[in-house]
Structure 1
Amino acid sequence: MPDLPDTRVVMIGRDGCHLCDVAREVIERVVGETGDSFAEVDVDADPALARWTDEVPVTFVDGRQHDYWRVDEGRLRAALKG
């Protein structure tokens, strides 16, 4: 497991990734409403993240992998309530 930022929601993404842009919008909307913290990490900037290079965006909630490729807003909200 890579060393991820100590925030409630983390997204591993990359520049120029359309799915990452969409996922970021969903995450920012949800955490903006819930008040939870969010950080983004560039998969191409850290060799320790290479495992996820074909699955970006990959989201983590409370340090556990939550989703990849797409972020379901309802599922994210439920995870943050739990």
Structure 2
Amino acid sequence: MVGPGSPDGDVHVTLLTRAGCAMCERARAELTPLCAESVVVLDVVDVDAVEDGELRAEFGDRLPVVLLQGEEHAYWEVDVPRLRADIARLRNR
């Protein structure tokens, strides 16, 4: 993941999910418009589909997980007000 001050200058949100997870789908539905309005890169990663089992081992028992700039921001639910504030803070650095 790319951090603040990265060469591309983009803010990145990653949603870690699992197929068939209703909470993951709800988180995606919340993040999609938020990331679009904030002009944030949204990546969705199925922890069971990646070859490296590290993500599944670290996060698989508490999905969905939201990462901001590669750092854990929330799990189980999206904290929309906090995420908006943290995205704004990153942009103002």
TM-score relative to the length of structure 1:
0.87
Q: Secondary structure at the match of 2:44?
A: strand
Q: Where is the helix percentage greater, Structure 1 or Structure 2?
A: 1
| Inter-partner Cα distance in structure 1 for 2:70 and 2:60 | 18
Q: Residue type matched to 1:66 in 2?
A: H
TM superposition shift of 1:26:
1.0
**Larger radius of gyration, structure 1 or 2?**
2
Q: Cα offset for 1:66?
A: 0.2
Unaligned runs of 5+ in 2: 3-10
Count of residues paired in the alignment: 78
Q: 2:12 aligns with which of 8, 12, 29?
A: 8
Superposed CA RMSD in Å reads 1.3
Report the AA paired with residue 80 of structure 1: I
Identity %: 36
Q: Provide structure 1 residue ranges, at least 5 long, that are not aligned to the other structure.
A: none
- Report the secondary structure of 1:12's partner residue: strand
Using the TM superposition, give the Cα deviation of residue 45 of structure 1 relative to its aligned residue in structure 2, in angstroms: 1.8
Structure 1 moving runs of 4+ over 2 Å = none
Q: 1:15 is aligned with what amino acid?
A: A
1:32 aligns with 2:22: no
TM-score, scaled to structure 2: 0.77
Cα displacement string for residues 26-66 of structure 1 (whole angstroms, at most 9, x for unaligned residues): 11111110111000111112311122111100111011110
The 5-angstrom pairing of residues 1-82 of structure 1 reads 6=2, 8-46=12-50, 47-49=53-55, 50-82=57-89
- The 3-state SS of whatever aligns with 1:44 is coil
